[in-house]
Every structure is written in structure tokens, then in C-alpha cells.
């Protein structure tokens, strides 16, 4: 008799008396589900909030919505012990350097969920002088949850979407085991000056500043 894993046929013979107890599979096929199952059911969020959306996030963790059903109720006070960053609230230019620094202090595997209109794209404060129009300008966002604010049910739906994303990952391909670029997971911390400076754009900023300077010099010399 043959036993299959997830419907795949196999030629390995299994005695009838053991058929109910033996599962034939490969290491690769077994490893991914176990690896993903353990991570998806023990996501520990970083315990911080930025604005009104954070109140809904707190409600989600309370008894009525019972986030512990998903293994996600252990909000950690330290980024070293967290693997999920729920960006709940308005991301201001003053806060984004701290948020990026916290993200860099989280160890892989780590995930980011943008909760609400503000974190996803600036929300009602988009174009505001002090507001970043989306945390994805600086961090890799895995799931966006719409709403202003999203309800606890919407957040849970987003967390389930994240679990489904984790289910699709393979231990052989996940980025955090890559050896070619050990700094690939480090995101540059933006600098807050008169405005926010994305250090990844420094060359472009310098070139534009030089152009403006040349134009001003030419203007003065032409007078």
C-alpha cells in the first residue's frame, strides 16, 4: 500500500497495519509547513502606538477580540523580542527615524503591518508639513489594513492575511538566510533636519542642491 503526503503519490510501500500512523514525505516538504506553522502562530507584536489607531489595536488585544487565539497577544516592550511591527497611527517626520531604528533592532524574520489610512498613505493628514505619507516610504510593509480607524475585526483580518503570506514562504528562499549581503536587512535611518532627509537619496539631494546653487550664482552674476 502507498501513503501520500498532501495528495502527492509516492512509491514507498507502507504495511497496512501502519497506514494510519505513517506519513511519507520529504524533508523539504515537511520543513516548510512546520517552520511556517510555528512562526504564523506565535507572532509577537512590538508594543507601541502612534495615534488613534493604536486604541483600536489595544482593543484587539483585549478580551472581547482575544488576539491570543492567534498566538499574537504577547506584545513585547523590546524590539529584540518582537517580530511584528504594527504601525498604528499617524507617522510624523519626527517619529520616523525612531520607527526605522526600532525596526532595525528587530531580528529576522520580521514583518510590518500598516494599520489605517495614516500609516498606509498619510490619511487625513497627507500633505501636512509634519506627516510622512506612508510608512512604506521607509520600511517594507507586508500588509496594509484600510480604515480610519480600522476596527479590531479589520486588524484581525489583516493579521490573518499576514499568516497566509507566511504560509507561502519557503525556508530555502526566505531573505533572512541570504549570505551575499549581510546588511541587506538594515534600513537607513532618515535624518530629521529642516525636512526629512532620506539618506538613500543623498546623491540626488546633493546634485539638486548643486544645481540650485549654480543657478543662484548665475543669477547674481547676471545682475
**Span of 11-19, 62-70, 118-126, 130-138 interacting with ligand SF4 by CB under 6 A:** 118-126
Inter-CA distances, 207 with 137, 138, 157, Å: 21, 21, 44
Q: Please, what is the minimum distance in Å from the beta carbon of residue 26 to ligand SF4?
A: 46
Exactly one of 106, 112, 118, 155 binds ligand SF4 (CB under 6 A); which one?
A: 118
- DSSP reduced 3-state for 182: coil
Site size toward ligand SF4 (CB under 6 A) is 12
Burial bucket for residue 59 (CB in 10 Å: 0-12, 13-18, 19+): middle
User: What b-and-e string marks burial along 148-167, b requiring 16 or more CB atoms within 10 Å of the CB?
Assistant: ebbebebbbebbeebbeebe
C-alpha cell at 212: 540650485
And the C-alpha cell for 21? 500512523
Residues from 88 through 117 that contact ligand SF4 (CB under 6 A)? 89-90, 116-117
Closer to ligand SF4 by CB, 99 or 118: give it.
118
Pairing of strands 84-88, 191-192: unpaired
Per 3-state DSSP, what percentage of the chain is helix, strand, and coil (rounded to 5)? 45, 10, 45
Among positions 130-169, residues that touch ligand SF4 (CB under 6 A) are: 148-149
The span from the CA of 146 to the CA of 157, in Å, is 11
> Nearest distance from residue 18's CB to ligand SF4, in Å?
56
Restricted to residues 54-83, the positions that interact with ligand SF4 (CB under 6 A) are none
Q: Which of 52, 58, 161, 197 binds ligand SF4 (CB under 6 A)?
A: 52
Nearer to ligand SF4, 72 or 118 (CB): 118
Residue 122 makes contact with ligand SF4 by CB under 6 A: no
Q: Is 86 in the site for ligand SF4 (CB under 6 A)?
A: no
> In whole angstroms, what is the distance from residue 152 CA to residue 104 CA?
27
Between 49 and 185, whose beta carbon lies closer to ligand SF4? 49
Residues at the interface with ligand SF4 (CB under 6 A): 51-53, 89-90, 116-118, 123-124, 148-149
Amino acid at each position: 500500500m502507498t501513503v501520500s503526503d498532501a495528495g502527492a503519490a509516492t512509491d514507498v510501500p507502507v504495511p497496512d497495519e501502519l497506514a494510519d500512523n505513517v506519513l511519507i514525505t520529504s524533508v523539504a516538504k515537511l520543513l516548510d509547513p512546520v517552520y511556517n506553522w510555528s512562526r504564523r502562530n506565535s507572532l509577537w507584536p512590538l508594543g507601541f502606538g502612534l495615534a488613534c489607531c493604536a486604541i483600536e489595536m489595544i482593543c484587539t488585544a483585549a478580551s472581547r477580540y482575544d488576539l491570543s487565539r492567534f498566538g499574537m497577544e504577547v506584545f513585547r516592550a523590546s524590539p529584540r523580542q518582537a517580530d511584528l511591527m504594527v504601525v498604528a497611527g499617524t507617522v510624523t517626520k519626527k517619529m520616523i527615524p525612531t520607527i526605522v531604528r526600532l525596526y532595525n533592532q528587530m531580528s529576522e524574520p520580521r514583518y510590518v503591518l500598516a494599520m489605517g489610512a495614516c500609516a498606509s498613505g498619510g490619511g487625513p493628514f497627507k500633505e501636512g508639513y509634519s506627516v510622512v505619507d506612508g510608512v512604506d516610504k521607509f520600511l517594507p510593509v507586508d500588509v496594509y489594513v484600510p480604515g480610519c480607524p480600522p476596527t479590531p475585526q479589520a486588524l484581525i483580518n489583516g493579521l490573518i492575511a499576514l499568516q497566509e503570506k507566511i504560509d507561502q514562504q519557503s525556508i530555502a528562499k526566505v531573505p533572512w538566510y541570504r549570505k551575499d549581503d549581510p546588511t541587506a536587512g538594515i534600513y537607513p535611518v532618515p535624518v530629521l533636519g529642516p525636512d526629512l532627509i532620506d539618506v538613500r537619496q543623498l546623491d540626488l539631494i546633493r546634485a539638486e542642491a548643486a544645481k540650485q546653487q549654480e543657478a543662484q550664482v548665475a543669477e547674481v552674476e547676471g545682475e
